A and B are shown apart, each in its own frame.
Chain A
Amino acid sequence: MLEIKNLHVKLEEEEKQILKGVDLTVEAGKVHAIMGPNGSGKSTLSYVLSGRDGYEVTEGSATLDGADLLEMEPEERAAAGLFLAFQYPVEIPGVGNMTFLRTAVNAQRKARGEEELSAADFLKLVREKAKSLKIDADMLKRPVNVGFSGGEKKRNEILQMAMLEPKMCILDETDSGLDVDAMKLVAEGVNALRDEGRGFLVITHYQRLLDHIKPDVVHIMADGRIVKTGGPELALEVENNGYADILAEVN
């Protein structure tokens, strides 16, 4: 589904190489996790895949179901089924959360040539999904992420994902800043979306999220490369011994 080959990325404004040849394939129905020390390039990878400005791809490719992601505008990538749950969700004063969700859902449907959701159908859907994430009516009415706690912002990301039903979900440190209960809610939200047609790339610093979202494959990223790939046991190894051993081993 998501295929990344030899991806090299530098900053547009500076001569700084951040990704130095990332190879990664996520198959439909699978959950891949990426772990790695701070600054290794995990967020950069997620931003480059979703089309944020400021980065330059100097080599390599990234495709979603064979379509070249790097050639597309961010909104086209979204319509093609890519979703990024942001490490730092953005606050947008003046735009109501509900309006934002409805605009996004309908924009994607329109881009795919599907009919827009009626106001009533949309409302029903959003209420149902919000309820399971314990997002109340007030949070839906407020401006996007404004005044939300860290946990509320992350749950709001999962709500967007649930509404948009993307094919390929990238979650960037969705567990950071969450207490155990909030993490469980988020994990349940993710697990509810798991199915054979959908791929996940879960970026996390800690093993604990992976107790709730069981990965099929775990990658370790360091200094802009995937340095090791294994099964769920690799996450446990990181949890017990930190990154030092693994990094020493690959160097």
Chain B
Amino acid sequence: MALPDVKQSATEARLATLRMPEAGCTRDAREAALARLRAMGLPGRRDEYWKYTRPDTLISPEAPKAEVFHTDEPMVFDGFDRLKIVFVDGVFSPEDSDDLTLEGVSIDRLEDICCKDIHWAKQLYGVLEERGQTPVQRPLAALNTAFAQDGVAIHVTGKPSKPISLIYRHDSESSDAILHHVIRVESGAEVTILENGPAASRFNKCIEIDIADGGTLHHVRAQGRDHQRRAATHMFTRLGKDSVYKSFTLTVNGVLTRNEQVVELTGDDAVAHVAGACVGDGDFHHDDTVFITHDAVNCESRQVFKKVLRNGATGVFQGKILVKEGAQKTDGYQISQSLLLDDDSQFLAKPELEIYADDVACSHGSTSGAIDETALFYLRSRGVPAKEATNMLTLAFLAEAVEEIEDEALAEDIVSRLEGWLARHS
């Protein structure tokens, strides 16, 4: 079917500003992704999947400018023993990064997977993204596969002693970054991946994660403090038998964020949790779009998303649990809630369940509400000033999402970020 003219011209206008890297062995995957993209076209305002979020600035030929935020305060994850991999405006920076050797894991730059002949990475690149294109199209992810400028391939074969920390620095106010990582966690292996920073004025990031039977991946992400940055991110995760994937994202600030998580439970007894806490004030639009497919027996999935919004901020949640035929004993849970600190803010939610198996327990709930006045009065009657009491209740509201982080020290660090934000914004 031919694309509508508007869509086609918007897509071609964007493509005109992009150049496919000399990519050797990923060339075929990139060309295929480009063909997919051309067939779908970039997202438009009329697309059902983009009903609540305007894609215009994510697909425009040039990235809108975004001021670089500077602070002397310690950054998130500072003080944690971790292996740092630094990207500046979407380009790997060897000077700022640690030595990439660590027991239990091998890490290579995407551009090296061909000369080093890293099979698993060549075989994964673009594959989960392509699988994730049905039943819902994700053109920005196809664009990413075709044009990614940089990224890493992380092969987890053991239990590395410290987290792998991807740090995305934003240095230029007109940067437009496209990063693509591939991660494979082997059977019985376990890793924690940290991500932080705004990355660029506009950031398109895709991670494909393949977790073999009995593998475990923890993911904790904080998307930086820059106010004007825009981001469209995708995480495509495939889980084998008995494997575990737990992902948490903190978003404070950022004028536009669309985070998509596409999770496929393909082996029995696998567990996938995706969670997010976001706090937004003013010109802030935050969209969590999640699609979890149960395609095996006795798997568990949880989606926990909490948004605190004020001064006209907008929160979006589109979350789906698809239980395929035969995926019996599925335990699927989904909750999305917003705390609206004033009347100007809004929360738009579209929770969906689609179930083709009969022996499943799935629940979903979505709420939107103001601060609990009774609780607020109770705290104040004990001497806690109104602002502090409001902040306590706000943190309490976010707690269910933050509690999804298993590592207590990381969870505490995230809480301290939230406290910092609340202190600055109240």
Q: Residues of A at under 8 Å CB distance from B?
A: 50-53, 73-75, 77-79, 83-84, 86, 89-95, 99-100, 103-104, 107-108, 111, 143, 160, 164
Contacts and interface: CB of A to CB of B under 8 A. Distances in A.
Contacts of A90: 374-375, 377-378
A103 B388 contact: yes
B380 A73 contact: yes
B392 A74 contact: no
Contact of A78 (B383, B395, B398): B383
Interface residues of B, number: 24
Secondary structure of the B contact surface, majority rule: helix
B304 to A, nearest CB: 13
A53 B376 CA distance: 11
A79 B378 contact: no
Contacts of A53: 373, 377
A52 B384 CA distance: 14
Contacts of A50: 381
Interface string B388-426: 110011011111100000000000000000000000000
Contact of B393 (A51, A77, A95): A95
B25 interface: no
A99 B372 CA distance: 18
B382 A94 contact: no
A51 B381 CA distance: 8
B388 A94 contact: no
Nearest to A111: B383
Contacts of A86: 378, 381
Contacts of B385: 73, 75, 107, 111
Contacts, number: 80
Given A51-B381, A53-B373, A100-B379, A73 B399 contact: no
B102 interface: no
A75 B385 CA distance: 6
Contacts of B381: 50-52, 74-75, 77-78, 83-84, 86
Interface of B: 372-375, 377-386, 388-389, 392-393, 395-400
A140 to B, nearest CB: 15
Contact of B380 (A74, A89, A99, A100): A74
Contacts of A111: 383, 385
Nearest 3 A/B pairs, CB to CB? A94-B396, A78-B383, A108-B383
Contacts of A74: 377, 380-381
B399 to A, nearest CB: 4
Contacts of A91: 375
Contacts of B372: 92
A198 B62 CA distance: 70
B381 to A, nearest CB: 5
Contact of B397 (A51, A79, A94, A103): A94
A185 B381 CA distance: 23
Contact of B392 (A75, A79, A89, A103): A103
A28 B309 CA distance: 46
A179 to B, nearest CB: 25
A99 B419 CA distance: 14
16 contacts: A51-B380, A51-B381, A52-B377, A74-B377, A75-B381, A75-B383, A89-B378, A90-B374, A91-B375, A92-B393, A94-B398, A95-B395, A103-B392, A107-B382, A107-B384, A143-B396
B96 to A, nearest CB: 37
Nearest to B394: A94
Nearest to B373: A53
A84 B380 CA distance: 11
A74 B388 CA distance: 13
B396 A93 contact: yes
A104 B378 contact: no
A94 B399 contact: yes
A164 B397 contact: no
Nearest to B397: A94
Most buried by B among A78, A83, A108: A78
B377 A164 contact: no
Contacts of B398: 94
Contact of A75 (B373, B386, B395, B400): B386
A75 B378 CA distance: 10
B375 A78 contact: no
A83 B373 CA distance: 18
B371 to A, nearest CB: 11
Contacts of B399: 93-94
Contact of B382 (A73, A99, A164): A164
A95 B380 contact: no
Nearest to A93: B396
A47 to B, nearest CB: 9
Contacts of B395: 94-95
A157 to B, nearest CB: 10
B185 to A, nearest CB: 32
Most buried by B among A52, A53, A75: A75
Nearest to A84: B381
A65 B385 CA distance: 22
B375 A79 contact: no
A238 B425 CA distance: 54
Most buried by A among B380, B386, B389, B400: B380
Contact of B396 (A77, A78, A92): A92
A104 B400 contact: no
A111 B381 CA distance: 13
Contacts of B386: 73, 75
A79 B383 contact: yes
